[in-house]
Structure formats: C-alpha cells, structure tokens
Structure 1
C-alpha cells in the first residue's frame, strides 16, 4: 500500500468513526426524547426510527467497504484474475 492509498484509508476511517459517533449521539437524543414523552423505556427502545434505520444501513455498507472489501482484498482478487487470464499464446 503506497502513501496515497494509506492516507485515503485514514481519511475514510476517520469519516466512518465520526459518522458512528454522530449516529450514537442522535440515537441517544431520539431515544431520550421518546422516553420522556412515553415514560416507558421498552417502548422507546423498541419502536424504530426510520432515520436511524436508514443511517444504520448506510453505516453498515460503509463498514463492509472499509473493513471487508479493502485494498488488500482488491489486490488479492486482482492478482487471482490476472493469474487466470495468463495463458500462453501459440502461433
């Protein structure tokens, strides 16, 4: 991994962790607000929020991209594909 790729990965990780932090803060605010309105903790935790659901799905996709489908995986798959297509040419 060269310097530019490493620098981009660090930026992506920083962005992902910031998004996770904001997700947690917003989720706490939403759940606290619901708890104050209803007074029932089980109802406020288990009643879903469409914003948190969509945001959670986006964070999950970003996590898969960052931690599963990273540059090492991409290079490994690229090398496998290149080794498959290396066939001698017979004239």
Structure 2
C-alpha cells in the first residue's frame, strides 16, 4: 500500500468513526428523551426512530465497504480471477 492509498484509508476511517460517534450521541439523546417523557422507547417516525434506522443502515453499508470490501479484498479477488483465466504455455 502506497502513501496515497494509506492516507485515503485513514481519512475514510476518521470520517466513519466521527459519523459513528455522532450517531451514538444523537441515538442516546433520542432514546433518553423518549424514556424520560413516556417511560419507554416507542418506535415512531416523528420521534426520530426511523431517521436513526436509516442512518444506522447507511453506517452499516459504510462499515462493510470500509472493513470487508477494502483494497486488499479487491486485489485478492483480481488475482484469483487472473489465475483462472491464465492459460498455460505448452512448448
């Protein structure tokens, strides 16, 4: 991995962790606000629960792309495909 790729990955990780932190803060505020007002947590559109659900799905997709489908995974898959299509030379 060269410097530019490493810098880009660190930048993406930093953005992801910031988003995760903000998600946790907002989810905590919404959760505790519902608990103190109603005595329980209700799933409703107007209280922000659906927004948190959508935000959580987006964060999950970003995490999969960042941690599972990274450059190394792509490189390994490319090498496997190249080995499949590589024909041996007969002399």
TM-score of the alignment, normalized to the shorter chain, above 0.5: yes
TM-score (norm 2): 0.85
Answer 1 or 2: which has greater helix percent. Answer: 1
Q: Which structure is higher in RCO with an 8 Å CA cutoff and minimum separation 6? A: 1
Instruction: Structure 2 unaligned segments of length 5 or more: list them.
Output: none
Instruction: Structure 1 unaligned segments of length 5 or more: list them.
Output: none
Residues matched between the structures, number: 86
How far apart are 1:54 and its partner, in Å? 0.3
TM-score (norm 1): 0.85
Give every structure 1 segment of 4 or more consecutive aligned residues whose post-TM-superposition deviation is greater than 4 Å: none
1:69 aligned partner: 69
**Counterparts of residues 1-91 of structure 1 (less than 5 Å):** 1-38=1-38, 40=39, 43-44=40-41, 47=43, 49-88=49-88
Cα root mean square deviation, aligned: 1.7
